[in-house]
Amino acid sequence: MKRLAAIGVHAAILLAVAFALYPVLWVVSLALSPHESPGAIPWPTEPSLDAMREVVLRTDDEGRYLFLMQTGASLLVAFSTALVAILIATPAAYALSRFRFVGKDASQQALLATQMFPGVAAAIPLYLILDALGLIDHLGGLTLVYATTAVPFAIFQLKGAFDTIPRDLEEAAMVDGATPFEAFRKVVLPAARPALAVTALFAFMTAWNEFILAATFLSREEIFTLPVVLQRYVGEHRAQWGHFAAGAIVVSVPVMALFYWLQRHLVGGLTAGGVKG
């Protein structure tokens, strides 16, 4: 009876996994069979890496490896966005979490307001601003645009995290001989490490996957970010589904790698045990 129940549970789980993985398998299958359209069963009959190779090793007229340059551009934008978000949001969130100051409520509400509009809504004003700054078609400009949404979001995330870290910890550090800044750097920041990691990852992924604004503000092919590159494969003239799928796989690899690498930071409950609990 028990065994029967176990089999039932496993069957249900397998079904759920299959359901979730089907589209992914389909993409993998597409990527590996560039010369045929896939059927209902996502399994390539003549597996080939041609599409993958063509996507990754694509060169422009001058013989430069375009895809590698575009990957570089994407990485640069995503990393910079995460970095800017963390650097600005960490002190801001800490201040909002710990101190009382003039304009605290107002600034918090203003930050919240920015979260209520989709980023695209600001596309035109952003375009005008970037134009004035001479940052159209510039990765720095795109990073700046992404930061406008990443920073407020990160502030909320981190404020929530700091709120859960008991003040006792900082006070203990100060009694132990720390300045307020040392207490922040040596106690609060390490205790908030999981939250910092998640927030950074989130900012990175948002920037890495963003399409509309990137397509709006970039026009030089060699600095296209990867979502724009992918979209080009299923563009106006003909749909190269195999290339699109191959590219999609390559694009997801860094995100998966990052997730994997951050896993150890994500172990929840780092603050557990610090104070009674």
The residues that touch other proteins, with contacts defined as CB under 8 A, are 166, 168-169, 171-179, 182, 186-187, 190-191, 193, 269-276
CA-wise closest residue to 130 among 117, 148, 118, 111: 148
Kindly state the smallest distance separating residue 184's Cβ from other proteins, in Å: 13
Q: Residue 10 or 167: which CB sits closer to other proteins?
A: 167
Among left, alpha and beta (phi > 0; psi -120 to 50; other), residue 103 is: left
E strands present in 31-187:
none
Q: Indicate the residue among 86 and 248 with the shorter CB distance to other proteins.
A: 86
Which C-beta is closer to other proteins: that of 32 or that of 165?
165
Contacts of 214 (CB under 8 A, 6+ apart): 77, 142, 224, 225, 227, 228
Q: Which two tokens stand for residue 95?
A: 């201040």
Name which of 147 and 188 has its Cβ closer to other proteins.
Answer: 188
CB of 198 to other proteins, least distance (A): 16
With CA atoms as reference, report the closest residue to 207 among 118, 77, 76, 90: 77
Task: Give min distance, CB of 193 to other proteins, in A.
Answer: 7
The CB-of-253 to other proteins minimum distance in angstroms stands at: 31
197 vs 214 by CB, closer to other proteins = 197
Nearer to other proteins, 135 or 191 (CB): 191
Read off the tokens for 123. 């596309």
First-residue to last-residue Cα distance in the chain: 40
Minimum distance, C-beta of residue 187 to other proteins, in the bound complex (Å):
6
What sign for the dihedral angle of Cα 165, 167, 171, 174? positive
Which residue reads 């570089």 in tokens? 72
- Nearest distance, CB of residue 157 and other proteins, angstroms: 19
Percentages of the chain per state (helix, strand, coil), in multiples of 5: 75, 0, 25
Q: Tokens 């359209």 correspond to what residue?
A: 37
